[in-house]
Amino acid sequence: VLNEYKEPGHGRLRIAAATTANYFAPALLRIFHERYPLVSVHLDVTNRKALLAQLAENDVDMVIMGMPPGEMDLEAGSFMENPLVVIAPPDHAFATGKKIPLRALEKEIFLVREKGSGTRQAMERFFRKHDLKITYGMEVSSDEAIKQSVQAGLGLGLMSRDAVQMELTLGRLIIPDIQRFPLMRSWYLVSRKGKHLSPSAQAFRDFVLNEAKGLLRKPPISAL
Ligand code: PGA
Protein backbone atom coordinates (compact mmCIF):
# COMPACT_ATOMS: atom_id res chain seq x y z
CA VAL A 1 0.00 0.00 0.00
CA LEU A 2 2.86 2.32 0.81
CA ASN A 3 4.21 1.88 -2.71
CA GLU A 4 1.06 3.42 -4.05
CA TYR A 5 2.15 6.75 -2.67
CA LYS A 6 5.88 6.55 -3.25
CA GLU A 7 6.54 4.98 -6.60
CA PRO A 8 5.11 5.86 -9.98
CA GLY A 9 5.00 2.11 -10.69
CA HIS A 10 1.86 1.68 -8.61
CA GLY A 11 -1.28 3.52 -7.72
CA ARG A 12 -4.17 5.13 -9.51
CA LEU A 13 -4.45 7.78 -12.11
CA ARG A 14 -7.69 9.61 -12.76
CA ILE A 15 -7.81 11.52 -16.01
CA ALA A 16 -10.62 13.19 -17.90
CA ALA A 17 -10.21 14.08 -21.55
CA ALA A 18 -12.15 16.34 -23.90
CA THR A 19 -14.26 14.33 -26.32
CA THR A 20 -11.90 15.10 -29.20
CA ALA A 21 -8.84 14.07 -27.18
CA ASN A 22 -10.52 10.68 -27.08
CA TYR A 23 -9.03 10.15 -30.55
CA PHE A 24 -5.45 10.15 -29.28
CA ALA A 25 -5.59 9.71 -25.48
CA PRO A 26 -5.87 5.89 -25.68
CA ALA A 27 -2.69 5.73 -27.81
CA LEU A 28 -0.86 7.71 -25.12
CA LEU A 29 -2.28 5.53 -22.37
CA ARG A 30 -1.13 2.41 -24.18
CA ILE A 31 2.48 3.57 -24.06
CA PHE A 32 2.14 4.77 -20.48
CA HIS A 33 0.66 1.40 -19.54
CA GLU A 34 3.60 -0.43 -21.10
CA ARG A 35 5.94 1.55 -18.85
CA TYR A 36 3.81 1.46 -15.71
CA PRO A 37 1.67 -1.67 -16.01
CA LEU A 38 0.63 -1.60 -12.35
CA VAL A 39 -0.89 1.87 -12.43
CA SER A 40 -4.64 1.55 -12.74
CA VAL A 41 -6.03 4.26 -14.97
CA HIS A 42 -9.50 5.71 -14.98
CA LEU A 43 -10.32 7.70 -18.11
CA ASP A 44 -13.45 9.76 -18.42
CA VAL A 45 -14.29 11.33 -21.78
CA THR A 46 -16.53 14.37 -21.67
CA ASN A 47 -16.90 17.99 -22.81
CA ARG A 48 -15.15 21.14 -21.66
CA LYS A 49 -17.79 22.22 -19.17
CA ALA A 50 -17.80 18.82 -17.46
CA LEU A 51 -13.97 18.73 -17.42
CA LEU A 52 -13.87 22.07 -15.62
CA ALA A 53 -16.47 20.85 -13.13
CA GLN A 54 -14.34 17.77 -12.39
CA LEU A 55 -11.29 19.95 -11.80
CA ALA A 56 -13.28 22.25 -9.52
CA GLU A 57 -14.60 19.25 -7.54
CA ASN A 58 -11.13 17.71 -7.33
CA ASP A 59 -12.51 14.51 -8.89
CA VAL A 60 -9.54 13.99 -11.21
CA ASP A 61 -5.76 14.25 -11.13
CA MET A 62 -5.67 16.09 -14.42
CA VAL A 63 -7.53 16.74 -17.62
CA ILE A 64 -6.62 16.92 -21.29
CA MET A 65 -8.43 19.81 -22.95
CA GLY A 66 -8.32 22.73 -25.34
CA MET A 67 -7.69 26.27 -24.09
CA PRO A 68 -7.85 26.32 -20.25
CA PRO A 69 -9.91 29.18 -18.80
CA GLY A 70 -8.08 32.19 -17.33
CA GLU A 71 -10.41 32.57 -14.37
CA MET A 72 -9.57 29.27 -12.59
CA ASP A 73 -6.37 28.65 -10.64
CA LEU A 74 -4.86 26.02 -12.88
CA GLU A 75 -1.52 24.69 -13.96
CA ALA A 76 -1.52 24.04 -17.67
CA GLY A 77 1.12 22.78 -20.04
CA SER A 78 0.58 22.63 -23.78
CA PHE A 79 1.95 19.53 -25.45
CA MET A 80 0.66 19.38 -29.01
CA GLU A 81 -0.96 21.52 -31.69
CA ASN A 82 -4.67 21.13 -32.15
CA PRO A 83 -5.72 22.48 -35.55
CA LEU A 84 -9.47 22.95 -35.99
CA VAL A 85 -10.73 22.38 -39.50
CA VAL A 86 -13.96 22.67 -41.48
CA ILE A 87 -15.30 19.32 -42.64
CA ALA A 88 -17.58 18.71 -45.60
CA PRO A 89 -18.95 15.74 -47.54
CA PRO A 90 -16.78 14.72 -50.52
CA ASP A 91 -19.38 15.84 -53.10
CA HIS A 92 -19.58 19.39 -51.71
CA ALA A 93 -18.83 22.28 -54.10
CA PHE A 94 -15.96 23.30 -51.80
CA ALA A 95 -14.12 20.09 -52.70
CA THR A 96 -12.51 21.61 -55.78
CA GLY A 97 -12.11 25.16 -54.47
CA LYS A 98 -8.75 26.72 -53.65
CA LYS A 99 -8.28 29.38 -50.97
CA ILE A 100 -12.04 29.70 -50.56
CA PRO A 101 -12.81 33.10 -48.93
CA LEU A 102 -14.30 33.10 -45.42
CA ARG A 103 -17.39 34.93 -46.69
CA ALA A 104 -18.36 31.84 -48.65
CA LEU A 105 -19.15 30.19 -45.30
CA GLU A 106 -22.13 32.53 -44.90
CA LYS A 107 -23.99 30.54 -47.57
CA GLU A 108 -23.53 27.28 -45.66
CA ILE A 109 -25.21 25.69 -42.67
CA PHE A 110 -22.97 24.73 -39.76
CA LEU A 111 -23.80 21.95 -37.36
CA VAL A 112 -22.82 22.83 -33.80
CA ARG A 113 -21.77 20.93 -30.73
CA GLU A 114 -23.74 21.35 -27.50
CA LYS A 115 -23.28 24.37 -25.21
CA GLY A 116 -20.39 23.54 -22.90
CA SER A 117 -18.22 22.23 -25.73
CA GLY A 118 -14.83 23.90 -26.08
CA THR A 119 -14.93 23.31 -29.83
CA ARG A 120 -18.21 25.18 -30.08
CA GLN A 121 -16.80 28.05 -28.06
CA ALA A 122 -13.73 28.31 -30.30
CA MET A 123 -15.89 28.16 -33.43
CA GLU A 124 -18.31 30.87 -32.30
CA ARG A 125 -15.42 33.11 -31.25
CA PHE A 126 -13.71 32.68 -34.58
CA PHE A 127 -16.83 33.48 -36.61
CA ARG A 128 -17.56 36.50 -34.39
CA LYS A 129 -14.01 37.77 -34.70
CA HIS A 130 -14.30 37.70 -38.47
CA ASP A 131 -17.78 39.20 -38.38
CA LEU A 132 -19.35 36.32 -40.27
CA LYS A 133 -23.10 35.77 -40.31
CA ILE A 134 -23.20 32.03 -40.00
CA THR A 135 -26.38 29.98 -40.18
CA TYR A 136 -26.36 27.29 -37.53
CA GLY A 137 -28.18 24.03 -38.12
CA MET A 138 -28.70 21.09 -35.83
CA GLU A 139 -27.09 21.03 -32.41
CA VAL A 140 -25.35 17.70 -31.92
CA SER A 141 -23.72 16.50 -28.73
CA SER A 142 -20.70 14.53 -30.00
CA ASP A 143 -18.03 14.75 -32.67
CA GLU A 144 -19.07 11.28 -33.88
CA ALA A 145 -22.63 12.45 -34.50
CA ILE A 146 -21.39 15.66 -36.18
CA LYS A 147 -19.29 13.59 -38.59
CA GLN A 148 -22.23 11.31 -39.42
CA SER A 149 -24.49 14.33 -39.95
CA VAL A 150 -21.97 16.04 -42.24
CA GLN A 151 -21.66 12.84 -44.27
CA ALA A 152 -25.45 12.68 -44.50
CA GLY A 153 -25.48 16.19 -46.01
CA LEU A 154 -27.07 18.06 -43.09
CA GLY A 155 -24.43 20.78 -43.10
CA LEU A 156 -20.77 21.48 -42.52
CA GLY A 157 -18.89 20.90 -39.28
CA LEU A 158 -15.87 22.30 -37.54
CA MET A 159 -13.70 20.15 -35.32
CA SER A 160 -10.22 19.11 -34.33
CA ARG A 161 -8.34 17.49 -37.20
CA ASP A 162 -7.37 14.72 -34.77
CA ALA A 163 -11.00 13.57 -34.80
CA VAL A 164 -11.37 13.06 -38.55
CA GLN A 165 -8.31 11.04 -39.55
CA MET A 166 -10.23 7.88 -40.34
CA GLU A 167 -12.97 9.58 -42.39
CA LEU A 168 -10.34 11.43 -44.43
CA THR A 169 -8.46 8.22 -45.14
CA LEU A 170 -11.66 6.48 -46.17
CA GLY A 171 -12.73 9.42 -48.34
CA ARG A 172 -15.95 9.97 -46.39
CA LEU A 173 -15.17 13.56 -45.48
CA ILE A 174 -12.96 16.30 -46.88
CA ILE A 175 -11.24 19.34 -45.41
CA PRO A 176 -11.91 22.17 -47.89
CA ASP A 177 -9.16 24.70 -48.52
CA ILE A 178 -10.63 27.74 -46.76
CA GLN A 179 -8.68 30.93 -46.06
CA ARG A 180 -7.59 31.42 -42.41
CA PHE A 181 -7.97 27.71 -41.71
CA PRO A 182 -6.87 25.64 -39.90
CA LEU A 183 -7.72 27.54 -36.77
CA MET A 184 -4.70 26.85 -34.56
CA ARG A 185 -5.17 25.80 -30.96
CA SER A 186 -3.19 23.56 -28.60
CA TRP A 187 -3.87 20.60 -26.42
CA TYR A 188 -3.21 21.20 -22.73
CA LEU A 189 -2.64 18.95 -19.76
CA VAL A 190 -4.26 20.75 -16.85
CA SER A 191 -4.41 20.27 -13.09
CA ARG A 192 -5.44 22.46 -10.16
CA LYS A 193 -2.72 24.78 -9.00
CA GLY A 194 -1.04 23.45 -5.88
CA LYS A 195 -2.65 20.03 -6.15
CA HIS A 196 -0.50 17.31 -4.65
CA LEU A 197 0.11 14.91 -7.50
CA SER A 198 0.71 11.25 -6.70
CA PRO A 199 3.88 9.73 -8.17
CA SER A 200 1.73 8.04 -10.85
CA ALA A 201 0.10 11.33 -11.77
CA GLN A 202 3.48 13.04 -11.79
CA ALA A 203 4.88 10.33 -14.06
CA PHE A 204 1.96 10.75 -16.43
CA ARG A 205 2.39 14.50 -16.52
CA ASP A 206 6.10 14.24 -17.29
CA PHE A 207 5.39 11.63 -19.94
CA VAL A 208 2.73 13.72 -21.72
CA LEU A 209 4.51 17.06 -21.55
CA ASN A 210 7.89 15.70 -22.64
CA GLU A 211 7.09 12.90 -25.03
CA ALA A 212 3.49 12.93 -26.25
CA LYS A 213 3.99 15.07 -29.32
CA GLY A 214 6.85 13.00 -30.71
CA LEU A 215 5.05 9.73 -30.03
CA LEU A 216 1.68 10.73 -31.43
CA ARG A 217 2.87 12.29 -34.65
CA LYS A 218 4.73 9.12 -35.66
CA PRO A 219 2.69 7.14 -38.21
CA PRO A 220 2.10 3.87 -36.28
CA ILE A 221 0.32 5.65 -33.43
CA SER A 222 -1.57 8.32 -35.33
CA ALA A 223 -2.80 5.62 -37.70
CA LEU A 224 -4.41 3.72 -34.81
P1 PGA B 1 -15.01 19.67 -26.40
O2 PGA B 1 -13.44 19.54 -26.37
O3 PGA B 1 -15.41 20.40 -27.64
O4 PGA B 1 -15.48 18.23 -26.39
O5 PGA B 1 -15.44 20.41 -25.14
C6 PGA B 1 -12.50 20.42 -26.88
C7 PGA B 1 -11.98 21.45 -25.88
O8 PGA B 1 -11.92 21.22 -24.66
O9 PGA B 1 -11.61 22.52 -26.35
**Distance, CA of 104 to CA of 122 (rounded, Å):** 19
Q: Is the CB of 82 under 6 A from ligand 1?
A: no
Q: Is the pLDDT of residue 152 over 60?
A: yes
Q: Kindly report the backbone phi and psi dihedral angles of residue 155, in degrees, each rounded to the nearest multiple of 5, phi listed first.
A: 155, -175
Q: Is the pLDDT of residue 8 over 90?
A: no
In this structure, which residue's CA is closest to atom 6 in ligand 1? 118
State if residue 175 touches ligand 1 by the CB under 6 angstroms criterion: no
**What would the pLDDT profile of 77-123 be if each residue is shown by its tens digit?**
999 999 999 999 999 999 999 999 999 999 999 999 999 999 999 99
Highest averaged pLDDT of the listed ranges 18-27, 68-77, 171-180, 206-215: 171-180
Pocket test for ligand 1, best of 63, 79, 119, 142 (most atoms within 8 A of CB): 119
Cβ atoms of residues 96 and 49 within 8 Å: no
Question: Quick check: 28 and 80 in contact, CB under 8 A?
Answer: no
Distance 150 CA to ligand 1 centre (A): 19
Q: Is the CB of 198 under 6 A from ligand 1?
A: no
Whether 52 lines ligand 1, by a CB cut-off of 6 Å, is: no
Q: For the complex shown, is ipTM > 0.85? A: yes
For strand 109-113 and strand 135-140, is the pairing parallel, antiparallel, or unpaired? parallel
Q: Is the CB of 8 under 6 A from ligand 1?
A: no
Return the H-helix or E-strand segment holding 41: strand 40-46
Query: Alpha-carbon distance 29 to 45, whole Å?
Result: 13
How far is 8 from 40, CA to CA, in rounded Å?
A: 11
With a 6 Å cutoff on the Cβ, whether 146 touches ligand 1 is no
pLDDT averaged over the chain? 91
Q: Is ligand 1 within 6 A of the CB of residue 22?
A: no
Query: Which pairing describes strands 12-18 and 62-65: parallel, antiparallel, or unpaired?
Result: parallel
123 lines ligand 1 (CB under 6 A): no
Is pLDDT of 153 > 80?
yes
Which atom from ligand 1 is nearest to the alpha carbon of 143? 4
| Mutation probe of ligand 1 site: the residue of 48, 113, 114, 147 with most atoms within 8 A of C-beta | 48
Q: Within 10 Å of residue 197's Cβ, how many Cβ atoms?
A: 16
Q: For residue 194, how many other CB atoms are within 10 A of its CB?
A: 7
For β-strands 74-87 and 157-160, DSSP reports them as: antiparallel
